[in-house]
């Protein structure tokens, strides 16, 4: 019955695309840039998909309408096991520090592991696929996961001395011991802070110090792109860095990628470093009772880049977060316990936390973990994995899709796998790339959800409901259930649907997945996300506290949001956030560098890449060695992911009369775009000099350029 209704509704929604609205002339200024793109055709979910979908009843949409806010989110919380039911769904009395499911008690690990044992103990929870193709995949059932998580929890508590509320920093690659360690922390109520394995030891040390971690958890090494990465060495740097920041680390626990074989050149430090496989022998079959946590107890920190130099620790709560990722995994990722779900992201990013670990495991799904890079040893690898494991839900980023398309556009055709559902996340996807994903990877059988969200938001904010909405290439789609967005211009005037103008996308209401605060910096939390469009700082009404996402967006007449990219000093490289200030401060750590500015440049595969401009102190020569020194400083302080595309050593930076570097002008030059009015600069002549140096010519034809680069700048 519900299915027939859903199909009817979907067919209704799936009407032919409306012709593109005629775009009114909009005054081009920085806040509201007219965006002209071709209106794309809709694609429709198949009746087969709709028939089996978790969200195919339009009544659910009604249930989440604004009139039912905030109680609508009970539907998500009810997917979990609560030790004690909550009395207040949303306590908004201290904006913007929302409290969700107040009075409720639960344990995240219990919800992801223990409660599935009765029905699914012998079912695969995690399937680990090593990068070397000759190494067999490892299947970890829910029963085995339960055993291993308990043993690690016992070790963390009794050997490492960790207690509820303590923070622990985990710097590990994509091996099953990573989610096992996270779940063991959750079992104890220990707040985990996972640092992406590709970040440097320094980056890890800074984050460990900020979170006050006394214990670091590492792995000796891992396979990446056919090479063995010795990871343990970065633990020593992390400990040193944390120490310089005033944080002492007592214990470093080291997992071995191959138990029994230590594969690192780096020595073990007596009394500080311990091999987990050896310590665990004392905890064989130990069982630790899950600690019943307040819904508002922090579950984890996830550091992300912001507008200032220091990465901020986004603090996520236990109840609201878990409810939100369980709900969105169920209804948007369409996960059932019988599905084999593979998200190719890294657990070290929020996508991996929400949609490899917590969401899928909360639903008793099977989640695949792949150690390596997608195109190793060739571009057919992901499709071989999909075929072998019979993956039917696939989740990745536009960068990976572009890469696989370039490296082997026909490869998917050679393999006999069938996806019912695919996700894209992390950056805007070009309609042409979307269509390849749909036609070739999805074999025209799979629905696609383009999910827009952020580290801060815990889970999806805009995406199509896979069985109920049509898909439109390049658009994230309508808001997720219970999310009410709005686009405002810089002056706070609403940018209307179908106007063709861009503005700042905000979410008018709180939702359970939103972070609680920035770890140790509540003022920064308020200033960064709520100050911009706050109507009254004294107000106790949530309606006066919209969430500012720092993304540019356009709303089409059909209610679909198209996300244009960051409007702050953050560059989205291959779907990962890089703060320009972080990269700049790495450059400035060199005594020879006088000034540094980092801007985004368009890249065919990675979306955006950082381009670095530095000026040197008097008497220092602009040599190739100097450029290499800058690159190496960036890699050491942040990691290889921040490696710039180019480093330009310039005689001076374009500056305003007050001395501010005009990054917008440098971004325009790096992307062959119009630099706009530069007459008000203190040194307008330098612009032409830099242009000749970078482009090899004086003023030539300019490109239109994407909106985020136009919007990139330091004035806002």
User: 172 forms bridges with which residues in the sheet?
Assistant: 196
Instruction: Say which DSSP state 682 is in.
Output: S
351, 366, 367, 528: which one binds ligand PRX (CB under 6 A):
351
- CA–CA separation, 285 and 151 (whole Å): 6
Please report how close the Cβ of residue 568 comes to ligand PRX at its closest, in angstroms. 9
* Nearest to ligand PRX of 295, 574 (CB atom): 574
Please report how close the Cβ of residue 424 comes to ligand PRX at its closest, in angstroms. 6
Residues 425-444 that bind ligand PRX (CB under 6 A): 425-428
In angstroms, the Cα distances linking 586 to 243, 455, 577 are 19, 23, 16
Please report how close the Cβ of residue 483 comes to ligand PRX at its closest, in angstroms. 14
* Nearest to ligand PRX of 176, 706 (CB atom): 706
Q: In 3D, which of 231, 230, 234 has the Cα closest to residue 242?
A: 234
For residue 457 the two structure tokens come to 């938001």
* Nearest to ligand PRX of 150, 367 (CB atom): 367
Please report how close the Cβ of residue 350 comes to ligand PRX at its closest, in angstroms. 5
* Nearest to ligand PRX of 193, 264 (CB atom): 193
Letters for 246-285 (x = contact with ligand PRX by CB under 6 A, - = none) are: ----------------------------------------
In angstroms, the Cα distances linking 315 to 58, 92, 157, 301, 528 are 33, 18, 22, 5, 14
- CA–CA separation, 434 and 477 (whole Å): 14
307, 399, 451, 615: which one binds ligand PRX (CB under 6 A):
451
- CA–CA separation, 405 and 424 (whole Å): 14
Strands 124-129 and 366-370, bridge-based pairing:
parallel
Question: Do 419 and 386 meet the contact criterion of CB atoms below 8 Å apart?
Answer: yes
563 binds ligand PRX (CB under 6 A): yes
450, 469, 558, 707: which one binds ligand PRX (CB under 6 A):
450
350 binds ligand PRX (CB under 6 A): yes
Residues 571-590 that bind ligand PRX (CB under 6 A): 572, 576-577
For residue 576 the two structure tokens come to 């990962």
Alpha helix stretches (DSSP H) within 340-428: 350-352, 359-362, 381-389, 398-408
Question: Do 288 and 154 meet the contact criterion of CB atoms below 8 Å apart?
Answer: yes
* Nearest to ligand PRX of 576, 648 (CB atom): 576
Which single residue brings its beta carbon nearest to ligand PRX? 455
Please report how close the Cβ of residue 134 comes to ligand PRX at its closest, in angstroms. 32
* Nearest to ligand PRX of 190, 299 (CB atom): 299
* Nearest to ligand PRX of 98, 453 (CB atom): 453
Would you tell me the crossing angle of helices 142-158 and 177-188 to the nearest 10 degrees? 60
* Nearest to ligand PRX of 43, 255 (CB atom): 43
Question: Do 107 and 343 meet the contact criterion of CB atoms below 8 Å apart?
Answer: no
Query: In this chain, which stretch among 134-142, 377-385, 560-568, 620-628 interacts with ligand PRX, using CB under 6 A?
Result: 560-568
476, 666, 667, 709: which one binds ligand PRX (CB under 6 A):
476
Please report how close the Cβ of residue 505 comes to ligand PRX at its closest, in angstroms. 9
* Nearest to ligand PRX of 305, 534 (CB atom): 305
Q: In 3D, which of 318, 282, 362, 302 has the Cα closest to residue 164?
A: 318
> Other C-beta atoms within 10 Å of 52: how many?
14
Please report how close the Cβ of residue 632 comes to ligand PRX at its closest, in angstroms. 25
| 498: exposed, middle or buried (Cβ count in 10 Å: 0-12, 13-18, 19+) | middle
Query: In this chain, which stretch among 87-95, 208-216, 414-422, 445-453 interacts with ligand PRX, using CB under 6 A?
Result: 445-453
Please report how close the Cβ of residue 462 comes to ligand PRX at its closest, in angstroms. 8
In angstroms, the Cα distances linking 266 to 145, 371, 392, 591 are 30, 22, 41, 29
241, 367, 455, 585: which one binds ligand PRX (CB under 6 A):
455
* Nearest to ligand PRX of 371, 551 (CB atom): 551
- CA–CA separation, 348 and 371 (whole Å): 12
Is 234 in a helix, a strand, or coil?
helix
Residues binding ligand PRX: number (CB under 6 A): 21
565 binds ligand PRX (CB under 6 A): yes
Please report how close the Cβ of residue 123 comes to ligand PRX at its closest, in angstroms. 28
* Nearest to ligand PRX of 200, 572 (CB atom): 572
606 binds ligand PRX (CB under 6 A): no
Residues 396-425 that bind ligand PRX (CB under 6 A): 425
* Nearest to ligand PRX of 252, 641 (CB atom): 641
469 binds ligand PRX (CB under 6 A): no
Please report how close the Cβ of residue 207 comes to ligand PRX at its closest, in angstroms. 15
- CA–CA separation, 234 and 219 (whole Å): 10
Query: In this chain, which stretch among 72-80, 169-177, 538-546, 562-570 interacts with ligand PRX, using CB under 6 A?
Result: 562-570
Alpha helix stretches (DSSP H) within 276-336: 276-279, 319-331
- CA–CA separation, 188 and 148 (whole Å): 14
Helix (H) or strand (E) holding 488: strand 485-488
- CA–CA separation, 86 and 89 (whole Å): 7
54, 181, 211, 304: which one binds ligand PRX (CB under 6 A):
304
CA angle (200 as vertex; 164, 251 as ends), nearest 5: 40
307 binds ligand PRX (CB under 6 A): no
Please report how close the Cβ of residue 571 comes to ligand PRX at its closest, in angstroms. 10
* Nearest to ligand PRX of 266, 351 (CB atom): 351
Query: In this chain, which stretch among 35-43, 280-288, 365-373, 449-457 interacts with ligand PRX, using CB under 6 A?
Result: 449-457
Peptide bond into 472 cis (omega under 30): no
Please report how close the Cβ of residue 159 comes to ligand PRX at its closest, in angstroms. 34
Question: Do 254 and 232 meet the contact criterion of CB atoms below 8 Å apart?
Answer: yes
Phi-psi region of 102 (alpha: psi -120 to 50; beta: other; left: phi over 0): beta
Q: Secondary structure of 598-648 in the HEC alphabet?
A: EEEEEECCCEEEEEEEEEECCCCCCCHHHHHHHHHHHHHHCEHHHCCCEEE
* Nearest to ligand PRX of 459, 482 (CB atom): 459
Please report how close the Cβ of residue 281 comes to ligand PRX at its closest, in angstroms. 38
For residue 311 the two structure tokens come to 């990465």
Strands 340-343 and 393-396, bridge-based pairing:
parallel
454 binds ligand PRX (CB under 6 A): yes
* Nearest to ligand PRX of 214, 576 (CB atom): 576
Is 597 in a helix, a strand, or coil?
strand
Footprint on this chain of ligand PRX (rule: CB under 6 A): 304, 350-351, 425-428, 450-455, 476, 551, 563, 565-566, 572, 576-577
């Amino acid at each position: 019955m519900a299915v027939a209704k859903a199909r009817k509704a979907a067919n209704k929604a799936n009407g032919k695309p409306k012709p593109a609205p005629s775009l009114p002339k909009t005054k081009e200024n920085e806040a509201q840039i007219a965006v002209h793109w071709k209106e794309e055709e809709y694609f429709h979910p198949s009746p087969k998909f709709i028939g089996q979908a978790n969200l195919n009843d339009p009544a659910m949409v009604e249930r989440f309408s604004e009139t039912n806010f905030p109680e609508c989110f009970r539907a998500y919380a009810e997917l979990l096991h609560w030790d004690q039911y909550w009395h207040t769904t949303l306590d908004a009395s201290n904006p913007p520090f929302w409290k969700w499911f107040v009075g409720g008690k639960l344990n995240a690990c219990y919800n992801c592991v223990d409660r599935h044992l009765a029905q699914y103990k012998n079912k695969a929870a995690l399937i680990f696929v090593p990068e070397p193709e000759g190494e067999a995949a490892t299947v970890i059932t829910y029963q085995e996961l339960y055993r291993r998580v308990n043993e690690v929890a016992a070790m963390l508590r009794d050997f490492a001395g960790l207690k509820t509320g303590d923070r622990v920093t985990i710097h590990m690659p994509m091996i099953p011991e990573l989610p096992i360690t996270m779940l063991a922390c959750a079992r104890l109520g220990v707040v985990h802070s996972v640092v992406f394995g590709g970040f440097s030891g320094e980056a890890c040390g800074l984050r460990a110090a900020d979170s006050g971690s006394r214990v670091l958890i590492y792995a000796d090494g891992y396979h990446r792109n056919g090479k063995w990465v010795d990871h343990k060495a970065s633990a020593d740097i992390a400990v040193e860095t944390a120490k310089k920041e005033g944080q002492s680390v007592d214990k470093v626990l080291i997992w071995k990628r191959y138990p029994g074989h230590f594969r690192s050149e780096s020595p073990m430090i007596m009394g500080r470093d311990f091999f987990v496989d050896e310590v665990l022998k004392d905890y064989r079959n130990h069982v630790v009772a899950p600690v019943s946590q307040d819904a508002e107890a922090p579950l984890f920190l996830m550091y992300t880049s912001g507008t200032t130099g220091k990465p901020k620790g986004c603090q996520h709560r236990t109840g609201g977060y878990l409810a939100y990722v369980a709900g969105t995994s169920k209804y948007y990722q369409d996960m059932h316990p019988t599905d084999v779900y593979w998200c190719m992201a890294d657990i070290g990013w929020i996508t991996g936390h929400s949609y490899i670990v917590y969401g899928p495991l909360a639903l008793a799904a099977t989640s695949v973990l792949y150690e390596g890079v997608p195109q190793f040893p060739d571009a057919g690898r992901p499709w071989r994995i999909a075929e072998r494991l019979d993956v039917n839900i696939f989740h990745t980023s536009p960068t990976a899709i572009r890469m696989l398309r370039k490296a082997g556009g026909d490869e998917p055709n050679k393999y006999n796998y069938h996806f019912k559902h695919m996700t894209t996340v992390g950056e805007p996807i070009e309609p042409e790339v979307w269509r390849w994903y749909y036609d070739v990877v999805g074999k025209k059988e799979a629905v696609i959800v383009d999910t827009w969200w952020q580290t801060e938001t815990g889970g999806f904010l805009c995406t199509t409901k896979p069985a109920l909405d049509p898909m439109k290439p390049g658009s994230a789609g309508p808001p997720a259930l219970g999310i009410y967005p709005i686009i405002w211009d810089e002056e706070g005037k609403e940018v209307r649907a179908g106007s063709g103008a861009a503005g700042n996308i905000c979410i008018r209401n709180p939702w359970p997945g939103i972070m609680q605060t920035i770890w140790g910096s509540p003022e920064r939390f308020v200033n960064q996300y709520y100050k911009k469009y706050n109507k009254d700082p004294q107000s106790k009404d949530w309606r006066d506290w919209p969430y500012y996402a720092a993304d540019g967006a356009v709303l089409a007449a059909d209610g679909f949001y198209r996300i244009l990219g960051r409007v702050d000093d953050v560059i989205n490289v291959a779907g990962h956030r890089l703060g320009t200030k972080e990269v700049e401060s790495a450059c400035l750590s060199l005594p020879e560098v006088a000034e540094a500015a980092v801007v985004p440049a368009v890249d065919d595969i990675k979306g955006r890449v950082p381009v670095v401009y530095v000026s040197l102190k008097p008497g220092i020569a602009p040599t190739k060695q100097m450029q290499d020194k800058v690159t190496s400083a960036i890699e050491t302080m942040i990691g290889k992911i921040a490696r710039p595309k180019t480093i330009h050593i310039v005689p001076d930076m374009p500056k305003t009369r007050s001395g501010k570097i005009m990054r917008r002008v440098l971004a325009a030059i790096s992307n062959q775009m119009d630099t706009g009015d530069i007459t008000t600069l203190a040194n307008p002549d330098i612009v032409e000099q830099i242009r000749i140096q970078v482009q090899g010519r004086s003023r030539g034809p300019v490109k239109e350029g994407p909106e985020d680069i136009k919007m990139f700048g330091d004035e806002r």
